[in-house]
Structure 1
Amino acid sequence: MKKYFVALVICTIGMTFFACGSQKQATIAGPTKVKLALDECQEYAQQKPSTRAWGEAVRFDLSEATEYAELSARSKFARAIASAIKTAQSTDNSGYRKSSSDGKQGGSVRDEDSKQNSMSIAIANEVVRNTVIVKTSQYQQVDGSYQVFVCLEYQAGVGQLAKDVANKVKQQVSDEDRMKMNFEYEKFRQRVEEEMRKAKAE
C-alpha cells in the first residue's frame, strides 16, 4: 500500500512539472514582432519621394511641435536635393570636378570639393523655400505632449525642381567654370532630375 501511495505521489509531481513546463512553452510561443502603421503624412510622402518629404516632432507646445516637424521635413528634403546635385556634379564632364596626381593641385581639388559641398547645400536650402506644407497630423499624448507629422511638397514637379537647381548652379559658378561647362546646362539638369527620381522616402 505504501509503495502504491509513493508511486502515486511521484506520478502526480511528475505530471505537475510536465504541465508547468508545457504552460511555459505555450507562453513563449507567439508573435515576436508587431507591424507599426505609418502616419498618413509618411504614406503621402512615400507616394512622391522625388518632390515630397515628411517630418515629425514631439513637444509640449503644439505650435513648437509643428515648427520643429516642418524644420525636420525641410532638412530631409534639402539633404536629398544636395545629394542629387553632388551626384550630378561627380558624373558630369562640365568642369565641376577636377582631378590631378599633383599634390599641390590635389589640395586645390579638396578645396574645390569643400566649396562645391557648401554650394550644393546652399542651393538645396534655397529650393526648399519653394515648398509648401500639404498635409499635417496632430496627436495629443497621455503625458500632455503633442506629436506632429507634416508632409511638404515642391508642387511644380520634379522637372521644374531640376531646372530650378540647374539655374541656381549656373548663377553661382564663375565665368571660367561656366566656360568649362561648355554650356551643358541641359545635360546637368537631366542628371539632377534623374537623381531626384531615384530618391526614396526616409
Structure 2
Amino acid sequence: MELSVDPETGLLAAAGYLPSPNCDARPPDSSIDLVVVHGISLPPGEFGGGHIAALFTNRLDPGAHPYFAEIAHLRVSAHLLIRRDGELLQFVPFHQRAWHAGVSSFEGRSACNDFSVGIELEGVDDLPYEPVQLERLAAVIRALSRAYPAIRLDRVVGHSDVAPGRKTDPGPAFDWRRLHALLEPHRPVLARATDTNPTE
C-alpha cells in the first residue's frame, strides 16, 4: 500500500483528520529528519474506542476511568495514530510541531519535537503489535521519506531511544526487524539504511 503526503497541507492522504490544538510552529531553521515511534493504549492495556483521540484533542473525560483523572489535564498530541486494525488518524500536519516526545534528545540534539514526526501505535510494551500496524507504519515512513528526504531508516527510533529512562515505548514487543524488512525494498529511497535494531 503506497501512501502520499500532501506537501501543501502536511496531511497523509489516506488518514482521517482530527485536528489537535496541541501543536505549534516548528523553529524556522528546523529540518524534519526523525521519526519517533510510540505505543499507547487508553485505558492502559485496553484497545478500541475513542479515548486516544479524545486525549489528543483535549476532550478526555476524567470521570470515565480512574486513570483518566491523572492524565486529562495533559496537553499532548502526535502527528499520527495507527490503530490495531490499521486505521490511520492524523492529529497534526507534519510540517507543524506535535507535542509527543517531551524532554528528549537524539544524536546530541535536544527537543526532538522540533525536528521529528511522532507516530503512535495503539498497543502496549509487552504485547506484539498487529502485522497490519507494521505494514501501515512502513507505508507511512516511505511516504514521509518522499516528502521529507532527510528521513532515513537509521532515523526511525522509539520513544525510549530519545527519552531513555523516562519512556519505554514502543517496548520490547515491537518488531524492529520486521519493520526494517518491510522497508528494505525501498533502501534507495531511505538512503543510508541500516539493519541495526535501534533499541539494541
Bin the TM-score by the shorter chain.
under 0.3
TM-score of the two chains, using structure 1 as the length reference: 0.24
TM-score of the two chains, using structure 2 as the length reference: 0.24
- Rg bigger for which structure? 1
The structure with the greater share of residues assigned to helix is 1
